A = this chain, B = another copy of it.
């Protein structure tokens, strides 16, 4: 928790657009003390263009990020970059290498770069990231780019925070199969085949097209863009695709649906985080005493005011943007 006067001072600095205030606000939120800040600043959010970038390790996400930052800056847009790493402590070395590619923007006052980790945030890593996006948006940054390492569940969640999700794939890596298995197909608004000069680039493009034929897309059909991020090749086309998707969201009103879903997702993460804490506490103080798991679960649930069977029609089903033909 932070006290009133510290909060007031921080909010004044934030309004004066001091980058250190933004950094401090994100740190506070990351360590679980962001509620008061978000409450004060939430009304100012909803203006930034938010872009998610995900894909397997080694695909060149940071080089792509750097190229996208350069493009946005050439259009005089201020940019926030959030690098998310939900993976193990072993990968720190590799990440450090990644970060270095963004150094060319370190001295630009209109580029704000931030790495995220899950520490004390109630909503976990995606909760901390959601707060960081909201804070950057409220700060007035025009574009917020969320870069995630890997292709696990938390990355999918994080990509859902963005208006436009880019899925980057690498030729010759067998990525396409991994992507299907990880459920990444369904979240892509734009596929990026990076490393255009790779001999397998054409094959990967064909694979992506075949995979797309297996899916039913309601509305937007993902774009497929080929880039060579190290040389900047294809970045203009990628930016055009992002703008085309943004225009689609605005014209169809789907932007509101995405905002509502992202909002519900944040609320869900926060509430579940708190319920989980209470549950762990109850689990420690309750003694099984000959009960079976169902009986003890019922006893604990009664502490939450939840009794009896929850109605069958209350479903927790996710709402994927696309479904697999004939299989789901």
Contacts and interface: CB of A to CB of B under 8 A. Distances in A.
Contacts of A181: 87-88, 90-91
A9 interface: no
A268 B40 CA distance: 35
A295 B327 CA distance: 39
A201 interface: no
Contacts of A311: 281
Interface string A283-301: 1000010101111110011
B89 A274 contact: no
Contacts of A315: 277, 280
Nearest to A214: B90
A314 B39 CA distance: 24
A281 B271 CA distance: 13
A324 B89 contact: yes
A237 interface: no
A267 to B, nearest CB: 5
A274 B306 contact: yes
A239 interface: no
Contacts of A263: 288, 293, 296
B314 A277 contact: yes
Contact of A328 (B89, B303, B309, B324): B89
A306 to B, nearest CB: 6
A264 interface: yes
A310 interface: yes
Interface string A91-102: 100000000000
A130 interface: yes
A27 to B, nearest CB: 17
B294 A39 contact: yes
B271 A297 contact: yes
A35 to B, nearest CB: 4
A176 to B, nearest CB: 11
B281 A276 contact: no
Interface in A150-201: 152-153, 180-181, 183
Contacts of A21: none
A281 B268 CA distance: 11
A297 B130 CA distance: 14
7 contacts: A43-B290, A89-B327, A90-B181, A270-B293, A271-B301, A274-B310, A280-B315
**Top-3 shortest CB links A-B:** A42-B292, A270-B297, A266-B293
Interface of A: 1, 35, 38-39, 42-43, 87-91, 130, 152-153, 180-181, 183, 260, 263-264, 266-268, 270-281, 283, 288, 290, 292-297, 300-301, 303-306, 309-311, 314-316, 324, 327-328
